[in-house]
Copies of this chain bind each other. A is one copy, B any other.
Amino acid sequence: MNGFIYNIPTKVYFGDHLNMLAPELKKFGKRVLLTYGGGSIKQSGLYNRIVGEIKKAGLELHELSGIEPNPRIESVRRGVNMCKKNEIDVILAVGGGSVLDASKFMAAGAKVDFDPWLFLSEKRPVKKALPLITVLTLSATGSEMDGGGVITNLKTNEKLGRADDLLRPKVSFLDPALTYTVSRFQTAAGAADILSHIMEEYFTTEPDLYMLDGIMETLMKTVIKYAPVALDDPENEEARANLMWASSWAINGFITGGKTHEWSVHPMEHELSAFYDITHGLGLAILTPRWLKYCLNKNTMPRICQFGINVLGISSQLAPALVAKRAIDQLSDFLFKTLKLDRTLTEIGIGDKDFKQMAQKATRGGVIEGFIPLNADDVEKIYEMCL
């Protein structure tokens, strides 16, 4: 076992607690920058409710809308300028992972004189950041409780991630009812995203805490049990609540424990969505079973079998090679049949022309030290398996 540091101070209001929004904002100051994406929060009435709470409390409201999925550095720059110009005290991000991620780099960018892209491209240190409060409307990225974010620069075809404890939201409002209106596709892609965050930690040959293994298995079972329920019955509170709380715990750092390996599927997917602007969760779904199949060998088989037995309920009486194969097949069936996500890159109009370049970028010219080590050739082969 490796040692580790656990540090997740985000306060979470789970359920309908928006009456506490203004009191929490006020702790950080008077001038609030409200950030959001398209018009969905206006259609749902959430926008009016939030603006009402802010105005009732006498806080000064500024707004930045139009943050796109796979959020762009241009949006971050707009936010940074607004924060500086209006001397914003606290950012209130309302939306899914894209809005939250963009807002994290606005929070950091507001405190420096350089272009915020340098936090991502050069890993410039985050020394200070404005406080961030979030109201989540999509269970997927876990950005509501972690310190990470991913920003896209379409000019350079780059989608880069960065995490820092200072970027962690101070307070997050998680109300499952706010996800009742999430579309079928986004619910499915979100479920694939949550599952991938857990799998990136779970599939390792490193020694690990049994307790964390069990918790990861529980989180995966939670997604597999409730994503189909939410698809069939979008206003099922039990399903939406389980998915929402699982999304936070999949990536807030708890399940990582002392593991040190790199993530594999996320860097491969980031190139896909950097080049083709696809939905992140969909890219992860297409890649994950192929990656597992590519990783399957004598060393990795026990872990894939453990997944099959403990998460998918495959009989432990079968031969390990068969359990492992079934586990990957059942995972594919879940993603492509149950969740009805597209099965191949071909189906979403992506061919092999950029694979070589994407593979180079995904591995940064080196090796991803994940479940098995992957160099650019390996990544290219995995992309090809997705056609």
Residue-wise interface mask of A (226-249) relative to B, using a CB-CB cutoff of 8 A (1 in contact, 0 not): 100000000001100110011001
Selected contact of A218 from candidates B218, B242, B245, CB within 8 Å: B218
Q: Across the interface, which residues of B come within 8 angstroms of A226, CB to CB?
A: 210
CB-CB under 8 A for A214 and B210, given A5-B17, A15-B1, A15-B258:
no
Docked pose: A8 CA to B257 CA in angstroms: 17
Residue-wise interface mask of A (4-20) relative to B, using a CB-CB cutoff of 8 A (1 in contact, 0 not): 11111101111111000
Question: Within residues 1 to 58 of chain A, which ones have a CB less than 8 A from any CB in chain B?
Answer: 1-9, 11-17
Q: Across the interface, which residues of B come within 8 angstroms of A257, CB to CB?
A: 14, 245
CB-CB under 8 A for A12 and B3, given A209-B245, A210-B226, A242-B210:
no
Question: Within residues 201 to 217 of chain A, which ones have a CB less than 8 A from any CB in chain B?
Answer: 207, 209-212, 214-215, 217
Q: Once the chains bind, are B221 and A214 in contact (CB under 8 Å)?
A: yes
Q: Across the interface, which residues of B come within 8 angstroms of A249, CB to CB?
A: 211
Of the listed residues A17, A176, A222, A258, the one surrounded by the most CB atoms of chain B closer than 10 A to its CB is: A222
Task: Determine whether A323 belongs to the interface, using a CB cutoff of 8 Å to chain B.
Answer: no
Task: Determine whether A128 belongs to the interface, using a CB cutoff of 8 Å to chain B.
Answer: no
Q: Across the interface, which residues of B come within 8 angstroms of A17, CB to CB?
A: 3, 5
Residue-wise interface mask of A (157-187) relative to B, using a CB-CB cutoff of 8 A (1 in contact, 0 not): 0000000000000000000100000000000
CB-CB under 8 A for A12 and B1, given A218-B218, A219-B211:
no
- With an 8 Å Cβ cutoff, the count of chain A residues facing the other chain is 40
Task: Determine whether A78 belongs to the interface, using a CB cutoff of 8 Å to chain B.
Answer: no
Q: Once the chains bind, are A214 and B222 in contact (CB under 8 Å)?
A: yes
Q: Once the chains bind, are B16 and A12 in contact (CB under 8 Å)?
A: no
* 16 extra interface residue pairs, beta carbon distance < 8 Å, beyond A3-B14, A9-B11, A14-B258: A1-B241, A4-B15, A7-B12, A8-B9, A9-B9, A15-B258, A209-B245, A211-B242, A211-B245, A211-B246, A212-B245, A214-B214, A214-B217, A215-B215, A215-B218, A217-B218
Complex A-B: 21 CB contacts under 8 Å: A1-B238, A3-B14, A5-B11, A6-B14, A7-B11, A14-B258, A207-B238, A210-B226, A210-B242, A211-B218, A211-B222, A211-B242, A211-B246, A214-B215, A214-B217, A214-B218, A214-B219, A214-B222, A215-B218, A217-B218, A218-B218
